[in-house]
Chains A and B, each alone.
Chain A
């Protein structure tokens, strides 16, 4: 089917404004939050109903046209990067909150609903939706399901997979499946877990039922400065070893502290090698108790300066710096590249030392922010895309950081997904047997391989080529190799 025929076919059941195919209309969809990867799709469709999506999928299935789903486009791994011969399926128009059930503590929403909008709708009942990725004002719940998004509170409250109950999913041939349920478990295999984090490779989510939990009565924050990263890492272990699960536990390194403080004046200690933010939430008594213990542990762990938020404004001010880390990176450097590895926390100091060494080797600065409670590290490599070769060096540097995470017993992606970006590192993290099984799982849902082809799971062929050539990211010779 020619592109024009495809457009005509789509227009036979979709309103004109729901089918975009002129280059200037396609342009806004050429990338997601990872703008280093760009590709125009053949056509963008913006359906408003599930029936329309079914027809789109049936058409694509019949014509063997690839389909890439897109939510708000805030993803950071190129998961929503369009396919040159495919349809980009935007779910952004499906943004209805269908039902909030305060007694059962659930909300049933369409995939394009923004993460934060769910909590706003639940707020009158004293409830909220717990996972809070940093993009929560913009990112959609459908995208959160696709990526299994976390947030700064997930050590205590879990990831998307822990906070959803049920999905309505369309398979590539337009069949509707109900996965999970309104009870706490369902019969058969846990397909809900399989769907969560599947990066749009298995099906199209058209409705999500999420769990809502009560808003804690109070939250308070301890900010502790350390003259040594190792001591800060130990302080985190000491808090957890004492039986405390903080609602948030974040670490920033020296270069981040300086970038942020200059920008925001959050009151961070500029002499510190690392700053820890440790939050407690719960009832007033519980928080008072826990904050006291955290304060004492920070002191015993060798903190050079400790401040406790005295009120809500101060708590938010302490947080503001951490939340501004990415914009601050953008302020001190023309471009930055955000990595996302997870490591067992005990290896933090070693991994940070390794990053520091690589930073010198590549001549590129690197800021480190760290979801310290759960070991999720976000190195931000600072570079200038206008300097020839600098993006390539950055990608190579990033790739080495991820390899280091694997060697430390961790993973190449904690919460951003594999997408397009980390597809080569999947060859390092998994062996042939596991990758074959991933392809088998994909085939169980999408035998023709039309949903988001080329993402998340590399072909064995690709891995073999990589292994044989020891090719680094950015120097890869055959990007056109078939992948599914």
Chain B
């Protein structure tokens, strides 16, 4: 494995010397996500081969694996011990890797209650833009030595370095689960989800689609049963299939040629008056919008900002708009400086996150 790291180092040093951009690729399942890379003649840095679980101690609730490890293999290993990645990462394809999952920073249905990818990252090993082999964080849950550089890698879209290994906190799978559904209008659904989130209920996911509110309960059998009585509604039998279709965006809603926007906003924000179909997740703090371009990117971004959040052009024509929400100048200045420090030659995925990075 060290030989592979040496190869990556050599590739990075050569790229830095010749200022040739590198395109980091794991399983290639999130290729659609992010801006088109800037510059010509990208060299592909393929991480899929650098794979395998390095260390897994179920009773320590920590797993360490190489970035090229397939999520499906990682989750299978956890499953054998009744554990899981609690942030339910979307795969968007069988080939999805741990490195891509962390770099894209996307989380699934359980995010609102369990936390996001960044909440479970404990440490990383990475190569910086000079080929330096660096380790941040560690394999323990409480660690405040040094700045939290490992979490900084989450969602950075590979612009700060090449991830080699990641340590994650894992959690036991809940012993019981059930999905309920009920008809509600959008405003009522928003209020209801937020009210329930303030009560000690075992709700692990919420979704509002097609005029129906779906609620997943997870936990001890007794808690799930009690909550079902409190919440009411009907049981939705195809529970697993439904939540997988939301996580993987295979649900009917997502089967569209229109641009898909992700508005991440304050959960209690009232229904957004934007043209296009919507689907809500995470107690209302994520609103997916299918837009037929009749609403401009600016309009969508203004609506997200007014709702105390930001908008991402998740899938769609990135020629028309930047994928990620523009940053305030002061924040962008820090981003640029960080990029210069981690990647002085600007070779890692240039432009994928922002044109300036």
Contact = CB atoms under 8 A, between A and B. Distances in A.
A184 B280 CA distance: 14
A282 B172 CA distance: 16
B266 A342 contact: no
A211 to B, nearest CB: 10
A383 B170 CA distance: 40
A245 interface: yes
A286 interface: yes
Interface in B211-248: 219-223, 225-227
B350 to A, nearest CB: 15
A185 B147 contact: no
A388 interface: no
B82 A243 contact: yes
In the complex, which range does the number of interface residues on chain A fall in? Answer: 35 or more
A414 B266 contact: no
B115 to A, nearest CB: 6
A411 B140 contact: yes
A441 B151 contact: no
Interface stretch (A37-45, A100-108, A221-229, A322-330): A100-108
Nearest to B121: A193
B133 interface: yes
Most buried by B among A147, A171, A240, A445: A240
Contacts of A433: 128, 132-134
A283 B223 contact: yes
Interface string A422-448: 100010011101100110111111000
Interface string B312-348: 1000000000001111101110110110011000000
Nearest to B324: A187
B177 interface: no
Nearest to B325: A187
B152 A411 contact: no
B226 A285 contact: yes
A102 B144 CA distance: 31
A25 B304 CA distance: 49
Interface stretch (A10-18, A51-59, A151-159, A468-476): A151-159
A189 to B, nearest CB: 6
Interface string B167-181: 000011101000000
A88 B286 CA distance: 42
B112 A184 contact: yes
Nearest to B286: A184
Nearest to A422: B145
B200 A183 contact: no
Contacts of B28: none
A176 B138 CA distance: 32
Given A188-B324, A191-B331, A243-B82, A182 B309 contact: yes
Given A177-B328, A183-B265, A217 B171 contact: no
Contact of A126 (B132, B175, B199): B199
A283 B145 contact: no
B310 interface: yes
21 contacts: A102-B198, A103-B191, A104-B267, A105-B198, A154-B141, A154-B142, A183-B308, A188-B327, A202-B147, A214-B197, A217-B200, A342-B141, A375-B140, A375-B142, A411-B143, A411-B144, A426-B145, A431-B134, A440-B338, A440-B341, A442-B147
